[in-house]
Structure 1
Amino acid sequence: MNQAAGITAVAVVSVLTLAIGAWGLRFSRTTSDFFVASRTVRPTLNASAIGGEYLSAGSFLGIAGLVLVFGGQMLWYPVGWTAGYLVLLLLVAAPLRRSGAYTLPDFAGARLASRRVRQLTSMLVVAIAWLYLIPQFQAAGITLELATGLDPRLGGLVVAAVVLVNVLAGGMRSITFVQAFQFWLKLTALLVPAFFLLLVWWGDGATSPADTVGGAAWANPIVSGGQSYYATYSLIAATFLGTMGLPHVVVRFYTNPDGRAARRTTLVVLALLGMFYVLPPVYGALGRLYAPDLADSGASDTVVLDLPSRMVGGVGGDLLSALLVAGAFAAFLSTSSGLTVALSGVLAQDVFARWATGVQSFRLAAIVGVVVAFALGQLAADVGVATAVGLAFAVAASTFAPLIVLGIWWAGLTDAGAIAGLLVGGLTTGAAVLVTFLGAPAGWTGTLLTQPAAWSVPLATLTMVGVSLLTPQRRPAGATRFLVRLHTPERVQLDRG
């Protein structure tokens, strides 16, 4: 693609992001503004912001790359990432908002009256946030290299710098406006080029993308036989349950005015994600016809950005490519911003509070969090974008999903049970992440480690329940009262004084 157009697209998105963040800064005055936007974000704005931060590099680039290489089986990724919000709507959204917490560690510590649970939860939030930030910086590097020919490390550096400026300036209040804008930019950036690319495909009279291409069938699985079925069900478990445990998603529900608004927000999010996730598989399917070489060269994550130059060409192709580059950079910026806010909130309260307070600790935490994530991204440069995002979902599903669900719906959960379950889920999936980054072995062992959710989620949940049943004396004295608060609508609570 034309390098001048690519550089212009990156510059325009970065400037607009900073400008909207600066405009939102005038609304950020208090510590509550920085952490949860003073709990005043309305459902439509909040849903757009959630869509902005949730639709990450894995959604914008990774899904299309997976469909290009492996075909229709990879459609479980967008299905699962959308359906996760249905689970969140039914089980978590309103009660979590009524907890009155700022962060997941706040919720866990208050629910179980345990400082140790809070500390362990904080460590897991930081680990998941860093794991999720890695692919954002990686994808930014891929995009910048393809668009401008510059060193890929510079792309991650640009994203890190822009995110830090916005987060340091206005926190959650400022980022909310930025992410809402970036969702609609991402949707437009995929929708408009897809329309023209489909017209080209239709005019070419090309064969169906379901036909074999590059030696890979449309239904070509990552692994064969029983491993294929296991990998699919494990992916479903990770994506369906992992959403509720992602720190940057959960913190968004604390910004709603009340539990009813949290539910309405989730419904709007489902609609927005449904619109968006129709589009990336289209690019993957077209890539199987027009860019099959990318599947064999290990550059499958670039298929979204590469198609316009191959299918349209000329000035039209350059303009469509520039629009996609703008959307991709918006994806990296919005998700990285949400993760940085969630990460900073936890680090500020549980690590840096001894050196600074309020907004100062939040800003110090943001700097440290982004710098460490950028450095880790350079060490894991060979891991696929969607693979890294999928692992983050698996870790979240195996740790926070059982903690949140049991914490909201079961009075018998104890601090000992929570700690045991979090350790089992965290250590098993952490080992799986490490093995995947270093290079997983072939066969069943590799499949079990690269897709751990099918066994790690039940193991962590059973551990949490079993140890809680063995330690009933450690049940918090106010557990029943806390659960009543979670499940009582705010209007009823006000009526009762």
Structure 2
Amino acid sequence: MTLNLWAVAGIALVGLATFSLGFRSSRLASTTQDFLVARRTVRSRRNAAAVSGEYLSAASFLGVAGLVLKDGADALWYPIGFTAGYLALMLFVAAPLRRSGAYTLPDFCEARLGSRGLRGLSTGFVVLIGMLYLVPQLQGAGMTLHQVLPSAPTWVGAAVVAVVVIVNVFGGGMRAITVVQAFQYWLKLFAIAAPTFVMCALFIGDGGVRGLDATGLSEPLPPRFTSAAVVRVETDVVVRVDESVRPWASGRIDNAPANGHSYWSAGTTHTVEQGTELRFAAGESVPVVEGAPTDNQSWLRPVSGSGDLLTTYSLILALFLGTMGLPHVLVRFYTNPDGRAARRTTLHVLLLLSLFYVFPMLIGALSRVYTPELLVTGTTDAAALALPMKIAPGLLGQILGAVTAAGAFAAFLSTSGGLVVSVAGVLYTDWLKRWFRDFRLASGIAGGVPLALALVLKQGDISMSIGMTFALGASTFCPVLVLGIWWRKITWIGAAAGMVIGGGLVLAALGVTIFSRFTGDWAPEYLQQPALVTVPVAFLAVVIMSKATQSRIPADTNRIRMRMHAPDRLGFIRDRDIARFGSAADRTRLANGRHRR
């Protein structure tokens, strides 16, 4: 890795623009409603851009390209699932959720089922999901800054993102974050689309794969180094060799010291320890981290075998249903004026996400040709950052890399901002307001705790980490939202049982997976994608326990359901218990004041 001053400047500009926009918007925030739901006046197009800016996280900008590089056709389910989740959200949740008049997801649970205990349980899961989602964002920020500024430790990037986000949320809450995220969507789209177009043009101009004397992606051969490569392993990895290679090594391989040429025969696996340096000659076969396809033909072929198929189905289910269980996504729909605007926002989000996800897939395919050394170290999340300098060494590559790095940093900032403001909102309204009157304290906790976790936990594939968060959302809030909106007979006891059982199973799988990473990666793959089991179990638990406790159906169920399902023009939408979220002065300003949208 070499220092890219252009990328450092691009990251600095993104951070400065984010801070400036947030600071300017924060001057318009004067009430509690500004901090929590931006006064419910965000128009559908701006909200769609803000939702997309918030949703296109490190998993989208870096993780998807890295998974395509490593797993090929199997990885295409990630962008499909990330986008398709909004279809389910639009059909079943968006408009009724906005019409409920709630301010947060726990507030909806209490409004629909009339239980303060369920509200407290929901708050706990909101905080947990938000922090689990935020940790890989901060880890990705550290990796990005380390990629463009090798002398900077990985914790520096994580700390920079956390500080900028917390300061923005300090100043204006949801109102400030909305403007920032809308801007950052278009910035991210440009930052990934423009370099991809240029790199595709250079690839075609070089004569494609044949011009590079590289292995074609559809050929039954492993990828090959197009030039002599030096690979430094920064975490312990196990690699598999499909064709024999003779790397020069300095460090430790297979629990023994290595200093000189080694011989790795075809069909063998080797453990390469942290700090080892490997050198490969041009044209040599690329050893691939264990678990990924070792040849390009397999890379292009979809899953085969029942084990892989079950994992894929589990991933699809988690992504499709998990979106409606992500608190930082759902809170954005509380900012729309009415249910119709919430549904229209979701439709626009589908279009914006579909446009964006074309480009990470192209980057992943190009990386398989130009940056195969990432397959050795397993750091495939760096593909989007490393590719520009491989395709265009020199000034052009540095500029392309700078644009991509700036876009990646915008992804970390926008998603982290949404997560911090959503977690801070429930912390403030449900846990901290009785002792402290300052929303800013909740913001500091919501950003500081994930930062500490990001520095302690071992980094894995970003998309895999976020996939587990989607599974948790799908196994906790998805059943409560769908059944709470569409089934009259749900009770708070049934909802609590579903959340505890579904969420508990996912957390148990997550705990085993994390422990496995520190003790040799022995956990079976299906524990990394448990949604195929946990989601049906959660739905079943809600139904069974609700059937057993029909005497606990809230007395105002019909009134709440009519409010959620009645057309907007009938005028049934009412904000829930506005007095608890603001002072008399706040309510006067809301009633009489005008503001810019």
- TM-score surpassing 0.5? yes
Instruction: Give the deviation of 1:382 after TM superposition.
Output: 2.5
Indicate the SS of the match to 1:200.
Answer: helix
Structure showing greater radius of gyration is 2
Indicate the SS of the match to 2:30.
Answer: coil
Query: Does structure 2 retain, via aligned residues, the 8 Å contact 1:64–1:304?
Result: yes
- In the comparison of the two structures, how many residue pairs are matched? 493
Query: Deviations along 1:113-137, whole A, 9 cap, x unmatched?
Result: 0011101000000000000000000
Q: What is the root-mean-square deviation in Å for CA atoms of aligned residues? A: 1.8
Q: Which amino acid aligns with 2:428?
A: A
Q: Which amino acid aligns with 2:528?
A: T
Indicate the SS of the match to 1:256.
Answer: coil
1:15-414 paired onto structure 2 within 5 Å: 15-149=16-150, 150-207=152-209, 208-211=216-219, 212-213=222-223, 214=286, 215-217=294-296, 219-220=298-299, 225-357=305-437, 360=438, 362-414=439-491
Query: Does structure 2 retain, via aligned residues, the 8 Å contact 1:222–1:228?
Result: no
What is the alpha-carbon distance in structure 2 between the residues aligned to residue 356 and residue 493 of structure 1? 35
Structure 2: state its 5+ residue gaps.
210-215, 224-285, 287-293, 575-597
Q: Which amino acid aligns with 2:549?
A: T
What is the alpha-carbon distance in structure 2 between the residues aligned to residue 315 and residue 210 of structure 1? 32
Query: Percent identity, aligned pairs only?
Result: 50
What is the alpha-carbon distance in structure 1 between the residues aligned to residue 31 and residue 94 of structure 2? 25
Matched with 2:14 is 13
Q: Specify whether residues 202 and 185 from structure 1 end up closer, same or farther in structure 2 by C-alpha distance, changes over 3 A only.
A: same
Instruction: Give the deviation of 1:379 after TM superposition.
Output: 2.1
Q: Is residue 3 from structure 1 mapped to residue 4 from structure 2 by the alignment?
A: yes
Instruction: Give the deviation of 1:5 after TM superposition.
Output: 1.4
What is the alpha-carbon distance in structure 2 between the residues aligned to residue 443 and residue 21 of structure 1? 42
Higher normalized helix content (fraction of residues): 1
Higher normalized strand content (fraction of residues): 2
Instruction: Give the deviation of 1:296 after TM superposition.
Output: 1.7
Query: Does structure 2 retain, via aligned residues, the 8 Å contact 1:69–1:216?
Result: no
Instruction: Give the deviation of 1:106 after TM superposition.
Output: 0.2
Instruction: Give the deviation of 1:223 after TM superposition.
Output: 8.1
Indicate the SS of the match to 1:354.
Answer: coil
What is the alpha-carbon distance in structure 1 between the residues aligned to residue 295 and residue 562 of structure 2? 54
Query: Does structure 2 retain, via aligned residues, the 8 Å contact 1:93–1:259?
Result: yes
Instruction: Give the deviation of 1:484 after TM superposition.
Output: 1.1
What is the alpha-carbon distance in structure 2 between the residues aligned to residue 406 and residue 424 of structure 1? 16
Query: Does structure 1 retain, via aligned residues, the 8 Å contact 2:4–2:402?
Result: no
Query: Does structure 2 retain, via aligned residues, the 8 Å contact 1:125–1:346?
Result: yes
Query: Deviations along 1:98-120, whole A, 9 cap, x unmatched?
Result: 01111100000111000111010
What is the alpha-carbon distance in structure 2 between the residues aligned to residue 75 and residue 260 of structure 1? 32
Greater alpha carbon shift after TM alignment, 417-426 vs 221-230:
221-230
Q: Specify whether residues 355 and 433 from structure 1 end up closer, same or farther in structure 2 by C-alpha distance, changes over 3 A only.
A: same
What is the alpha-carbon distance in structure 2 between the residues aligned to residue 382 and residue 47 of structure 1? 31
Indicate the SS of the match to 1:416.
Answer: helix
What is the alpha-carbon distance in structure 1 between the residues aligned to residue 43 and residue 382 of structure 2? 36
- With normalisation by structure 1, the TM-score equals 0.96
Query: Does structure 1 retain, via aligned residues, the 8 Å contact 2:136–2:459?
Result: no
Matched with 1:428 is 505
Query: Deviations along 1:449-495, whole A, 9 cap, x unmatched?
Result: 11100010000000010110111111111112211110002211369
Matched with 1:476 is 554
Q: Which amino acid aligns with 2:142?
A: G
Query: Does structure 2 retain, via aligned residues, the 8 Å contact 1:391–1:433?
Result: yes
What is the alpha-carbon distance in structure 2 between the residues aligned to residue 31 and residue 44 of structure 1? 24
Structure 1: state its 5+ residue gaps.
none
Q: Specify whether residues 495 and 100 from structure 1 end up closer, same or farther in structure 2 by C-alpha distance, changes over 3 A only.
A: closer
Instruction: Give the deviation of 1:381 after TM superposition.
Output: 2.8
Instruction: Give the deviation of 1:186 after TM superposition.
Output: 0.4
What is the alpha-carbon distance in structure 2 between the residues aligned to residue 219 and residue 233 of structure 1? 19
What is the alpha-carbon distance in structure 1 between the residues aligned to residue 538 and residue 217 of structure 2? 40
What is the alpha-carbon distance in structure 2 between the residues aligned to residue 472 and residue 444 of structure 1? 44
Query: Deviations along 1:412-440, whole A, 9 cap, x unmatched?
Result: 10011011100001100011111222226
What is the alpha-carbon distance in structure 2 between the residues aligned to residue 382 and residue 36 of structure 1? 33
